[in-house]
Chains A and B, each alone.
Chain A
Amino acid sequence: MTRHLLSAADLSLDDATLILDTADELARVSDRPVKKLPTLRGRTVVNLFFEDSTRTRISFEAAAKRLSADVINFSAKGSSVSKGESLKDTALTLEAMGADAVVIRHPASGAPHTLAHSGWIGGSIVNAGDGTHEHPTQALLDAFTMRRHLSTIAGRKVVIVGDVLHSRVARSNVLLLATLGADVTLVAPPTLLPVGVDQWPCTHSYDLDASLVGADVVMMLRVQRERMNAAFFPSVREYSRRYGLDADRMSRLPEHAIVMHPGPMNRGLEITAAVADSDRAVIIEQVTNGVSVRMAVLYLLLGGSDSALGGDL
Chain B
Amino acid sequence: MVRSESSHEAREVLDADDVQRALTRIAHEVLERNKGAHSVVLLGIPSRGVPLAQRLAARIGEVEGRDVPFGSLDITMFRDDLRLRPARGLGRTELPGGGIDDAVVVLVDDVLYSGRTIRAALDALSELGRPQSVQLAVLVDRGHRQFPIRADYVGKNLPTSTRETVQVLVSELDGSDAVLIGGTADDDPADPTREGRGSV
Contact = CB atoms under 8 A, between A and B. Distances in A.
Query: Do A's and B's CB atoms come within 8 Å in the complex?
Result: yes
Nearest to B101: A33
A304 B87 contact: yes
A34 B87 contact: no
Interface in A1-38: 1, 18, 21-22, 25-26, 28, 32-34, 36-38
B93 interface: yes
Contacts of B123: 38
Interface in B83-132: 83-94, 123, 127-129
Nearest to A296: B90
A103 B154 CA distance: 47
B134 interface: no
Contact of A306 (B77, B86, B90): B86
Contacts of A301: 87
Contact of B83 (A34, A36, A305): A305
A307 B85 CA distance: 9
Nearest to B79: A39
Contacts of A26: 90
Contact of B129 (A22, A33, A304, A308): A33
Given A33-B129, A34-B128, A299-B77, A1 B86 contact: yes
A22 B93 CA distance: 12
B126 to A, nearest CB: 8
A163 B117 CA distance: 51
Nearest to A26: B90
Interface in A274-313: 299-308, 311
Contacts of A304: 82-88
Contact of A302 (B87, B89, B94): B87
Nearest to A21: B89
Contacts of B92: 25
B195 interface: no
Given A22-B90, A25-B90, A37 B84 contact: no
A41 to B, nearest CB: 10
| Chain A interface residue bracket vs B | 20 to 34
Majority SS at the chain B contact face: loop
Contacts of A25: 74, 90-93
A21 to B, nearest CB: 6
Interface residues of B, number: 20
Contact of B82 (A21, A28, A39): A39
A4 to B, nearest CB: 14
A308 B89 contact: yes
Contacts of B77: 37-39, 67, 299, 303
A111 B196 CA distance: 46
B93 A37 contact: no
A197 B23 CA distance: 61
A228 to B, nearest CB: 46
A21 B88 CA distance: 11
A302 B128 CA distance: 24
B90 A308 contact: no
A202 to B, nearest CB: 29
B86 A34 contact: no
Contacts of B88: 304, 308
Contacts of B86: 1, 304-308, 311
A140 B196 CA distance: 34
Contacts of A306: 85-87
A129 B163 CA distance: 50
Contacts of A32: 127-128
A142 to B, nearest CB: 21
Contacts of B129: 33
Given A28-B93, A38-B123, A308 B128 contact: no
A307 B89 CA distance: 11
A38 B80 CA distance: 10
A224 B168 CA distance: 60
6 contacts: A22-B89, A25-B92, A25-B93, A39-B82, A304-B82, A308-B88
Given A25-B91, A37-B77, 7 more contacts: A1-B86, A36-B127, A67-B77, A299-B87, A301-B87, A306-B87, A308-B89
Interface of B: 74, 77-78, 82-94, 123, 127-129
Ordered nearest first, which 6 A-B pairs have the shortest CB separation? A304-B87, A303-B87, A308-B87, A306-B86, A25-B90, A39-B77
